[in-house]
Protein backbone atom coordinates (compact mmCIF):
# COMPACT_ATOMS: atom_id res chain seq x y z
CA UNK A 1 0.00 0.00 0.00
CA UNK A 2 1.49 3.31 -1.12
CA UNK A 3 0.43 6.33 0.96
CA UNK A 4 0.35 9.66 -0.84
CA UNK A 5 1.20 12.57 1.47
CA UNK A 6 -0.48 15.93 1.76
CA UNK A 7 1.61 19.10 1.63
CA UNK A 8 1.32 19.36 5.43
CA UNK A 9 2.61 15.82 5.86
CA UNK A 10 5.49 16.50 3.48
CA UNK A 11 6.47 19.50 5.62
CA UNK A 12 6.57 17.26 8.72
CA UNK A 13 8.74 14.82 6.79
CA UNK A 14 10.96 17.74 5.76
CA UNK A 15 11.31 18.79 9.42
CA UNK A 16 12.41 15.27 10.32
CA UNK A 17 14.85 14.98 7.45
CA UNK A 18 16.30 18.40 8.22
CA UNK A 19 16.95 17.20 11.76
CA UNK A 20 18.56 14.05 10.35
CA UNK A 21 20.80 16.24 8.15
CA UNK A 22 21.74 18.40 11.15
CA UNK A 23 22.47 15.28 13.20
CA UNK A 24 24.70 13.88 10.45
CA UNK A 25 26.50 17.24 10.35
CA UNK A 26 27.06 17.07 14.11
CA UNK A 27 28.36 13.51 13.78
CA UNK A 28 30.56 14.57 10.86
CA UNK A 29 32.19 17.27 13.00
CA UNK A 30 33.34 14.55 15.41
CA UNK A 31 34.64 12.06 12.86
CA UNK A 32 38.41 11.82 13.19
CA UNK A 33 41.03 9.14 13.87
CA UNK A 34 40.68 7.79 17.41
CA UNK A 35 36.95 8.34 17.88
CA UNK A 36 34.83 5.23 18.47
CA UNK A 37 31.61 4.57 16.64
CA UNK A 38 29.85 4.28 20.01
CA UNK A 39 30.91 7.86 20.84
CA UNK A 40 29.38 9.01 17.55
CA UNK A 41 26.18 7.17 18.41
CA UNK A 42 25.94 8.96 21.77
CA UNK A 43 26.48 12.33 20.11
CA UNK A 44 23.67 11.61 17.67
CA UNK A 45 21.24 10.33 20.28
CA UNK A 46 21.80 13.38 22.51
CA UNK A 47 21.43 15.72 19.55
CA UNK A 48 18.20 14.10 18.34
CA UNK A 49 16.61 14.11 21.80
CA UNK A 50 17.71 17.71 22.46
CA UNK A 51 15.71 18.67 19.37
CA UNK A 52 12.52 17.04 20.59
CA UNK A 53 12.71 13.89 18.50
CA UNK A 54 13.37 10.22 19.17
CA UNK A 55 16.04 8.14 17.38
CA UNK A 56 13.94 6.07 14.96
CA UNK A 57 16.44 3.22 14.67
CA UNK A 58 16.81 2.60 18.42
CA UNK A 59 14.80 -0.53 19.16
CA UNK A 60 13.62 -0.90 15.55
CA UNK A 61 13.26 -4.66 15.13
CA UNK A 62 15.58 -4.84 18.12
CA UNK A 63 18.39 -2.64 16.72
CA UNK A 64 20.48 -1.58 19.75
CA UNK A 65 21.63 1.93 18.74
CA UNK A 66 20.55 5.29 17.32
CA UNK A 67 22.80 5.17 14.25
CA UNK A 68 23.86 2.47 11.84
CA UNK A 69 27.61 3.01 11.42
CA UNK A 70 29.34 0.93 8.78
CA UNK A 71 33.11 1.14 8.31
CA UNK A 72 35.02 0.31 5.10
CA UNK A 73 33.83 -3.13 3.90
CA UNK A 74 30.68 -2.84 5.99
CA UNK A 75 27.90 -1.74 3.63
CA UNK A 76 25.04 -0.91 6.01
CA UNK A 77 23.51 -1.69 9.42
CA UNK A 78 26.80 -1.71 11.36
CA UNK A 79 26.29 -1.58 15.13
CA UNK A 80 28.16 1.23 16.96
CA UNK A 81 30.77 -0.16 19.33
CA UNK A 82 33.34 1.03 21.86
CA UNK A 83 35.73 -1.43 20.19
CA UNK A 84 35.40 0.17 16.77
CA UNK A 85 38.02 2.95 16.70
CA UNK A 86 38.17 4.98 13.48
CA UNK A 87 41.56 5.40 11.87
CA UNK A 88 43.07 7.60 9.18
CA UNK A 89 41.99 6.44 5.72
CA UNK A 90 38.77 4.70 6.80
CA UNK A 91 35.43 5.55 5.31
CA UNK A 92 32.39 5.49 7.55
CA UNK A 93 28.79 5.30 6.38
CA UNK A 94 26.39 6.81 8.91
CA UNK A 95 22.66 6.15 8.57
CA UNK A 96 20.38 8.17 10.84
CA UNK A 97 16.65 8.16 11.57
CA UNK A 98 14.38 10.41 13.62
CA UNK A 99 10.78 10.19 14.75
CA UNK A 100 8.96 13.43 15.51
CA UNK A 101 5.37 14.72 15.16
CA UNK A 102 4.20 11.35 13.88
CA UNK A 103 6.64 11.08 10.98
CA UNK A 104 10.06 9.60 10.28
CA UNK A 105 13.29 11.03 8.87
CA UNK A 106 15.88 8.73 7.26
CA UNK A 107 19.10 9.69 5.47
CA UNK A 108 22.70 8.50 5.22
CA UNK A 109 26.12 9.89 4.35
CA UNK A 110 29.56 8.34 3.88
CA UNK A 111 32.39 10.28 5.53
CA UNK A 112 36.14 10.09 5.02
CA UNK A 113 38.32 9.77 8.12
CA UNK A 114 41.23 12.09 7.36
CA UNK A 115 42.80 11.43 3.97
CA UNK A 116 41.51 8.42 2.05
CA UNK A 117 43.03 6.67 -0.97
CA UNK A 118 42.15 8.18 -4.35
CA UNK A 119 40.22 5.08 -5.45
CA UNK A 120 38.15 5.23 -2.27
CA UNK A 121 37.47 8.92 -2.78
CA UNK A 122 36.20 8.07 -6.26
CA UNK A 123 33.87 5.37 -4.88
CA UNK A 124 32.35 7.95 -2.53
CA UNK A 125 31.94 10.56 -5.27
CA UNK A 126 30.41 8.15 -7.76
CA UNK A 127 27.97 6.75 -5.19
CA UNK A 128 26.81 10.27 -4.37
CA UNK A 129 26.50 11.07 -8.08
CA UNK A 130 24.44 7.88 -8.53
CA UNK A 131 22.12 9.15 -5.79
CA UNK A 132 21.75 12.50 -7.59
CA UNK A 133 21.07 10.81 -10.93
CA UNK A 134 18.44 8.55 -9.38
CA UNK A 135 16.87 11.49 -7.57
CA UNK A 136 16.53 13.45 -10.82
CA UNK A 137 14.16 10.72 -12.04
CA UNK A 138 11.82 11.09 -9.03
CA UNK A 139 9.05 12.99 -10.75
CA UNK A 140 5.38 12.19 -11.17
CA UNK A 141 4.73 10.07 -14.26
CA UNK A 142 8.06 8.25 -14.09
CA UNK A 143 8.37 4.79 -12.60
CA UNK A 144 10.52 3.41 -9.80
CA UNK A 145 12.56 1.61 -12.47
CA UNK A 146 13.64 4.97 -13.90
CA UNK A 147 15.20 5.84 -10.54
CA UNK A 148 16.73 2.38 -10.16
CA UNK A 149 18.22 2.26 -13.64
CA UNK A 150 19.78 5.72 -13.30
CA UNK A 151 21.54 4.64 -10.09
CA UNK A 152 22.69 1.31 -11.51
CA UNK A 153 23.94 2.68 -14.82
CA UNK A 154 26.08 5.33 -13.18
CA UNK A 155 27.68 2.94 -10.67
CA UNK A 156 28.33 0.21 -13.21
CA UNK A 157 29.94 2.67 -15.61
CA UNK A 158 32.82 2.71 -13.10
CA UNK A 159 32.87 -1.08 -12.71
CA UNK A 160 31.35 -0.99 -9.23
CA UNK A 161 29.05 -3.62 -7.71
CA UNK A 162 25.45 -2.60 -7.02
CA UNK A 163 24.09 -4.36 -3.93
CA UNK A 164 20.92 -6.32 -4.71
CA UNK A 165 19.80 -7.54 -1.28
CA UNK A 166 18.85 -4.12 0.15
CA UNK A 167 16.90 -1.23 -1.31
CA UNK A 168 15.28 2.13 -0.73
CA UNK A 169 11.67 2.46 0.34
CA UNK A 170 8.66 4.67 0.89
CA UNK A 171 8.86 6.95 3.96
CA UNK A 172 6.08 8.39 6.09
CA UNK A 173 4.58 7.56 9.46
CA UNK A 174 6.62 4.38 9.20
CA UNK A 175 10.26 4.05 8.25
CA UNK A 176 9.68 1.42 5.61
CA UNK A 177 6.61 1.91 3.46
CA UNK A 178 5.86 0.79 -0.08
CA UNK A 179 7.18 0.97 -2.70
CA UNK A 180 10.59 -0.69 -2.52
CA UNK A 181 13.18 1.34 -4.44
CA UNK A 182 15.93 -0.98 -5.72
CA UNK A 183 19.28 0.35 -6.88
CA UNK A 184 19.09 -1.72 -10.05
CA UNK A 185 16.33 -2.16 -12.58
CA UNK A 186 14.87 -1.24 -15.95
CA UNK A 187 13.53 2.09 -17.15
CA UNK A 188 9.76 2.23 -17.52
CA UNK A 189 9.21 -0.65 -15.07
CA UNK A 190 7.94 -0.81 -11.51
CA UNK A 191 5.36 1.25 -9.61
CA UNK A 192 4.25 4.57 -11.08
CA UNK A 193 5.58 7.62 -9.21
CA UNK A 194 2.79 9.97 -8.19
CA UNK A 195 2.59 13.48 -6.75
CA UNK A 196 2.81 13.18 -2.96
CA UNK A 197 4.81 9.97 -2.79
CA UNK A 198 7.82 10.19 -0.49
CA UNK A 199 10.65 7.73 -1.12
CA UNK A 200 14.12 7.10 0.21
CA UNK A 201 16.69 6.58 -2.54
CA UNK A 202 19.81 4.97 -1.09
CA UNK A 203 22.53 3.56 -3.35
CA UNK A 204 24.74 0.98 -1.64
CA UNK A 205 27.71 0.65 -3.97
CA UNK A 206 30.68 -1.68 -3.66
CA UNK A 207 34.13 -0.95 -5.03
CA UNK A 208 34.40 -4.62 -6.01
CA UNK A 209 31.76 -7.29 -6.59
CA UNK A 210 28.11 -6.81 -5.69
CA UNK A 211 27.94 -9.82 -3.35
CA UNK A 212 27.38 -9.19 0.35
CA UNK A 213 27.49 -11.25 3.54
CA UNK A 214 25.12 -10.88 6.50
CA UNK A 215 27.25 -11.06 9.66
CA UNK A 216 26.34 -13.23 12.61
CA UNK A 217 25.54 -10.23 14.82
CA UNK A 218 22.21 -10.29 12.97
CA UNK A 219 22.66 -6.80 11.52
CA UNK A 220 25.93 -5.91 9.83
CA UNK A 221 26.07 -6.33 6.07
CA UNK A 222 29.56 -6.37 4.51
CA UNK A 223 31.03 -6.94 1.07
CA UNK A 224 31.97 -10.54 0.43
CA UNK A 225 35.32 -9.55 -1.10
CA UNK A 226 35.97 -7.13 1.79
CA UNK A 227 36.53 -4.20 -0.54
CA UNK A 228 34.96 -0.93 0.66
CA UNK A 229 31.37 0.17 0.08
CA UNK A 230 29.65 3.56 0.18
CA UNK A 231 26.07 4.51 1.05
CA UNK A 232 24.22 7.80 0.62
CA UNK A 233 20.51 8.30 1.18
CA UNK A 234 18.02 11.04 0.37
CA UNK A 235 14.38 11.30 1.36
CA UNK A 236 12.57 12.74 -1.66
CA UNK A 237 9.01 13.94 -2.22
CA UNK A 238 7.78 13.22 -5.74
CA UNK A 239 6.28 16.29 -7.37
CA UNK A 240 4.76 16.94 -10.77
CA UNK A 241 7.63 19.20 -11.73
CA UNK A 242 10.38 17.01 -10.29
CA UNK A 243 11.99 15.85 -7.07
CA UNK A 244 11.65 17.81 -3.82
CA UNK A 245 14.65 16.63 -1.78
CA UNK A 246 13.83 16.67 1.95
CA UNK A 247 17.39 15.85 3.04
CA UNK A 248 20.03 18.62 3.01
CA UNK A 249 23.58 17.44 2.34
CA UNK A 250 24.84 21.05 2.18
CA UNK A 251 24.52 21.27 5.98
CA UNK A 252 26.71 18.18 6.33
CA UNK A 253 29.27 19.32 3.78
CA UNK A 254 29.57 22.77 5.36
CA UNK A 255 30.22 21.09 8.72
CA UNK A 256 32.93 18.74 7.47
CA UNK A 257 34.67 21.26 5.23
CA UNK A 258 35.26 23.68 8.08
Give residues in contact with Mg ion (CB under 5 A): 95, 106, 108, 200, 233
| CA atoms of 205 and 108, how far apart (whole Å) | 13
| For Mg ion, the closer CB: 114 or 171 | 171
Q: Considering the complex, what minimum distance in angstroms separates the CB of residue 243 from Mg ion? A: 16
114-228-167 Cα angle (round to 5)? 115
Cβ atoms of 65 and 42 within 8 Å: the answer is: no
**Cβ(239)–Cβ(211) below 8 Å:** no
Q: How far is the CB of 200 from Mg ion (least distance, A)?
A: 4
Q: Which of 83, 105, 94 is nearest to 30 (CA)?
A: 94
Closer Cβ to Mg ion, 106 or 146, answer by number: 106
CB of 119 to Mg ion, least distance (A): 25
Beta bridge partners of 221: 76, 214
Q: Which is nearer to Mg ion, 90 or 95 (CB)?
A: 95
Is the backbone peptide bond immediately before 108 cis, with ω within 30 degrees of 0? no
> Closest distance between Mg ion and the C-beta of residue 55, in Å?
12
Q: How far is the CB of 108 from Mg ion (least distance, A)?
A: 5
Q: Compare residues 92 and 122 and give the one whose CB is closer to Mg ion.
A: 92
- β partners of residue 55: 98
- CA atoms within 13 A of residue 81's CA, in its CB half-sphere: 11
Q: Which CB atom, from 141 or from 214, has the smaller least distance to Mg ion? A: 214
Amino acid sequence: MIYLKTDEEIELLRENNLLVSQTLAEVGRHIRPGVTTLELDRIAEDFIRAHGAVPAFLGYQGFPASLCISVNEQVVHGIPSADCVLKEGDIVSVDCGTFMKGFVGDSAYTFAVGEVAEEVRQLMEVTKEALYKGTAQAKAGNRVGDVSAAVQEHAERFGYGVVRELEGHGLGRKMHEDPGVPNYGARGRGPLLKEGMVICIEPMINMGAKAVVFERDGWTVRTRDRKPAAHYEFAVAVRKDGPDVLTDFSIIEQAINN
